[in-house]
Every structure is written in structure tokens, then in C-alpha cells.
Amino acid sequence: MTPAIGKRVHMEPQTIHREDIVRWINDFAQVVAVNRDHLTELDAAIGDGDHGVNMDRGFRAVAAKLPSVGDKDIAQILKTTGMTLVSTVGGASGPLYGAFFLQEALSSAGKEELSLTDWIAMLEAALNGIIARGKAAIGDKTMLDALAPALQALKDAAIRNATLAEALTQSADAAQDGMQATIPLVARKGRASYLGERSAGHIDPGAASMYLLLKTAASTLASG
């Protein structure tokens, strides 16, 4: 149906700009702050009990750094985020989330905006970086169990010619399903692996924070 003349038609954004990346990371810093205690409780059940605290400290530091690189290209913004996390976040989260953003930076070198195809390539690079850094596999009860299905959902959405908003939403939904799927798994990596069978029955805290990161991407980036 042709829109009535004079009515404003809302067009969904189909690209992600530098300013959007900054908003995404800043928004996630706020989401982490709100969910700090929840993430810590999840980690207390099977880990060191510091995931929420560590992530909050790291992303507060990132938020403080972002104004200094807000006028740089996307790669520089992501690189600064990754390096800040590596230097400020304790435990396994710093190196792994650092690898996530540093690999995204390499994938987006020189770009001022990203298409859905670019976003997929960035997340694939991030996933491979986490695998290389953490020596984990899908099914080991880690953040990969949220990230991998989210990436596959993006690829499937692209094949269907979905809009950017649709693809990001489907990715976040898949990440949530992946997070929930860690509950029955027995951890094979990290501190949780020390518990053996007792690690089953709990959500993996890294998968939970990864879901929140991708959920924030859907809510922030899809709105333009």
C-alpha cells in the first residue's frame, strides 16, 4: 500500500555508524552495571563469584575512555575497548572479552559504517578470537554457547534478506536460547570445570553476559 502523502515514513537503519558503536558500548556498560549482582550470583554458583564485579569495573573504564576516541573510525573504537578490558578486567573475562573486541577491530579496519555483512564478519572474527584465546569449543559451557548460535542466526537472517533490525533481534533471541542451553551442560573449561558434574544445572555467567551484549546490540543498533 502506498503511504499517504504528507505522512512521515519511518525507515529502519540498514547500516551501523561509528556513533552507533559508541552508543552500543556505552549502553552495554549501563546494562552491566544494572546486572552486576545477577552476573556475580551466576558466577558464585560455579566460578569465582566475581564476573559481574569484574565486567562492571572493565566497562566503566571503557566508558571513561570512549570520549577520547569517539571521532575515530570504528576499528579504533573497538580496539580501545578491547585493550581497556584486557588491562582492567580480572579473571578470564578480560582476555576473552578483550579478544572479542580486538578481533572485531581487525575485521573493521578503516570502516566508518558497517553493513549486516560487515557485522557478521566482525562477530565471526570475534568468535574465532575467543576460541583461539580460550581454547574452548561450543558445548564447553562458555560464552561461545551464546555467541555461536547468535552468529548463525545472523547468517540465516542475511540469507533471507532480513532487515538489520530483524537480524539483530533474531541474533539476540538465539543468544538467549544458547545461554539457557548451558544450564544442563557440564563445564569443560575455566573454574567451573573443577566442579565436574556439579557444574550442571546452572547458567554459565559468560554466556549470560554475552547474551546481554548482543541483546544490547539489538536494542541500540537497530534503532539507529
How many CA atoms are closer than 13 Å to the CA of 176, on its beta-carbon side?
10
SS3 107: helix
Return the percentage of the chain with pLDDT > 90, whole number. Answer: 71
pLDDT for residue 11 is more than 60: no
Give me the torsion for CA of 199, 202, 203, 204, rounded to 10°: -20
Query: How confident is the model at residue 6, as a pLDDT?
Result: 40
* Chain segment 146-175, per-residue pLDDT in tens: 999 999 999 999 999 999 999 999 999 999
Mean pLDDT of 103-122: 95
Q: In this structure, are residues 63 and 84 in contact, taking their beta carbons and an 8 Å threshold?
A: no
pLDDT for residue 5 is more than 50: no
* Chain segment 171-220, per-residue pLDDT in tens: 999 999 999 999 987 676 665 654 556 667 789 999 999 999 999 999 99
Lowest-confidence segment of 1-15, 72-86, 97-111, 165-179 by average pLDDT: 1-15
Query: How confident is the model at residue 207, as a pLDDT?
Result: 96
Beta bridge partners of 113: 17
pLDDT for residue 53 is more than 80: yes
pLDDT for residue 4 is more than 50: no
CATH fold of 16-221: 1.25.40
Mean pLDDT of 73-95: 92
CA quadruple 194, 196, 198, 203: dihedral positive or negative?
A: positive
Lowest-confidence segment of 12-16, 111-115, 180-184, 192-196 by average pLDDT: 192-196
Region label for 81, one of left (φ > 0), alpha (ψ between -120 and 50) or beta (otherwise): alpha
Region label for 201, one of left (φ > 0), alpha (ψ between -120 and 50) or beta (otherwise): left
pLDDT for residue 127 is more than 50: yes
pLDDT for residue 9 is more than 50: no
Among the listed residues 76, 82, 108, 106, the one whose alpha carbon sits nearest the alpha carbon of residue 96: 82
* Chain segment 131-144, per-residue pLDDT in tens: 998 888 888 889 99
